[in-house]
Amino acid sequence: MATTELIEFKLHGMRALVTGSASGIGLATAERLARSGAHVAMNDLPTDALTRAVGDLAARGCRVAAVPGDLSNSATARDVGLESLALLGGLDYLVNNAGAPGTRTPIPPADLDALTDDFWDRILRINLLSTFWMTKTLAAALTEARGAVVNTVSVSAFGGGGSSTAYATAKAGLAGLTRELARGLAPHVRVNGIAPGYVNSNWECSFGDMDAAAKATVPLARVGQTKDYADVIVYLCAGASYITGEVVPVTGGTRI
């Protein structure tokens, strides 16, 4: 049965870049934007997953295109940004969603030996620095369009935990970067973030039985679906005209 959206966005003529959009929150966001009429550049690693995601949306009439590249490299991030600008002819919305845990199982906070220099470097590059590189590259275009940036942070930024100490620290840094970019790009560009809790997606790191955990700890008693997060991201892009520098928790009420 088709899902009826309670809130519709009319985004024809708008241009968006969504990073980390081959799956999960990024894919749901790219789909929501494209179904609302926006022209969407979809970035992720150059794999079959990105090709399939773009092909599936295009087959459903969405105006999307792939811009592959590993954003943990500053030069590649710049190239992805510039290629997206050329493809779209400008930019209204930048969704910095690319991120990775770097581990298949959570690393306990006491296991400092697992947090090697290489691990820290990988985690900080993709979860924190990539957002700065992308936003810096695209700042002029966003300013010209009076656009918006939305960053995918994490609830671990505020309470720790998550997949590792390095990941929680990177996301805490991303929350701070969101505020500073909002200061730096005001008044013409709004910069906000969301902080997801449990997510039903093919995330690399497994946290065990999330359904049971959510029923026990989340007031709304369920795991968040990727659409739940995409809805908030698109609202922060296309609406929310008096909100900037904020990171909105989207957790089903976990923190109340």
Of the candidates 196, 174, 156, 187, which has an alpha carbon nearest to the alpha carbon of residue 28? 196
- Write out the two tokens for 124: 């900080």
C-beta separation of 219 from 206 below 8 A: no
Q: How far apart are CA 239 and CA 228, in angstroms?
A: 16
Active site residue 229: no
- Write out the two tokens for 40: 């969407």
- Strands (E) across 67-171 are located at 93-96, 148-152
Catalytic residue among 167, 198, 229, 235: 167
Of the candidates 186, 183, 157, 191, which has an alpha carbon nearest to the alpha carbon of residue 172? 157
What string of DSSP letters covers 5-64?
A: PSS----TT-EEEESS-SSHHHHHHHHHHHHTT-EEEE---SSHHHHHHHHHHHHTT--E
Residue with tokens 């013409």: 188
Q: How far apart are CA 159 and CA 156, in angstroms?
A: 5
Catalytic machinery residues = 167
